[in-house]
Structure 1
């Protein structure tokens, strides 16, 4: 009995079906609306959103998580079986390349898990010189909010300086150039110069960002190594 369950979980065809299922479920979620529109799914950590979301909105996400959990087990078992079956029968690069790709995938899943649990996204309006506080008791001040007006009178460029509690400049912030403070990212979304200088700041925390980067690098390296081994045949 156990051997049959193990064989099914380690099956490559199961992995393919699971990936297809995840794609279908995400497509359904993308077009179903409801949850994303009424439940602010993009404005809070996924697990926090799931706790309060009606099942009618979130069923596809729960199924996706279940499919991904089984896919993680399938990936681990496939790697174990691949190493057991090919060890000593092929060169090192051919043996290790698929496993590096598998490791990259697992890191990416782990990254999403961390962000789904501890992620944060918020937006706030700050006056010039106002301090943004953080959970550890420290803070940064958004100062020197400024912008440049184009020929039509619209702001074409805007930015601000970031200062620490002592008033020392520690960085700047502008569109597509966020400022990172500890585990938080600060993004400037808009500014107002008249009658007073105000900036709209979006704050992100992505605990899984490092794992996502590591996973992407591992997956890319493994993919390139696998292509190199196949070209060399």
Structure 2
């Protein structure tokens, strides 16, 4: 009985069913309104602690399935290594493990951000100062818009000066060109030029960002390695 349960938990078919279940729950959650609108404005676990079950049931279910998927991934890797050790080429053996490890790091990254992440939106004007707990600061020096041929703004920017440890860094903030200060991303969302220049910025703190990047790189490397193996051109190993 224990052996059959272990084989089921480590099977590929179980993993596929779990992924299908996660996607189905997320699809169902997209039709839930009301309290769900606040999900993008606070860390995941903070939202789950406040939202009623009627609004968060789909997310609790998705998290439970993801937990089982993590277990399935770990057991699948163990079985692959146990059965293939000494019988497969090194790249053929390690390719799926890189993908599995990448997935696990991405899950870890989201858990870290769900617990310790932060997001805040605020209005700033020329001369506004954003202060940080370590004593550093970011000052907005200028806000500008670039009008198009029809008079509508096609671009906007904010000049900022970051001060930390007695050193100053000057840069220009634009949409899709954020500035990262002490691990906090500062994003410019909009600038209103009249009657006086006013900007709207968002501050994001994502403690899992580095782990997510590492996981994505490992997952990509695993896919490339697996493609090389299946094309019959594995690297020597």
TM-score between both structures, scaled by the size of structure 2: 0.92
1:9 deviates by 1.7
Instruction: State the secondary structure of the residue aligned to 1:31.
Output: coil
Instruction: Indicate whether 1:230 and 2:211 are aligned.
Output: no
Partner of 1:20: 20
Give the CA RMSD over aligned residues. 1.6
Distance 1:227 1:199 in 2: 47
Instruction: Indicate whether 1:117 and 2:115 are aligned.
Output: yes
Partner of 1:33: 33
Distance 1:51 1:202 in 2: 23
TM-score between both structures, scaled by the size of structure 1: 0.93
The number of residues matched between the two structures is: 231
Question: Mind listing any 5+ residue stretches in structure 2 that lack a counterpart?
Answer: none
* Superimposed CA distance per residue, residues 10-51 of structure 1 (whole angstroms, 9 cap, x where no aligned partner): 1221111111100100110112223323xx011110000000
Distance 1:232 1:72 in 2: 30
Instruction: State the secondary structure of the residue aligned to 1:196.
Output: coil
1:195 deviates by 2.7
Contact 1:146/1:197 (8 A) holds in 2: yes
Distance 2:228 2:129 in 1: 52
Contact 1:179/1:187 (8 A) holds in 2: yes
Distance 2:194 2:206 in 1: 34
Partner of 1:88: 86
Distance 1:227 1:169 in 2: 44
Distance 2:145 2:193 in 1: 8
1:157 deviates by 1.7
1:169 deviates by 4.1
Instruction: Indicate whether 1:161 and 2:151 are aligned.
Output: no
Q: 1:95 to 1:130 in 2, by over 3 A?
A: same
Comparing 56-65 and 110-119, the one that deviates more: 110-119
Question: Mind listing any 5+ residue stretches in structure 1 that lack a counterpart?
Answer: none
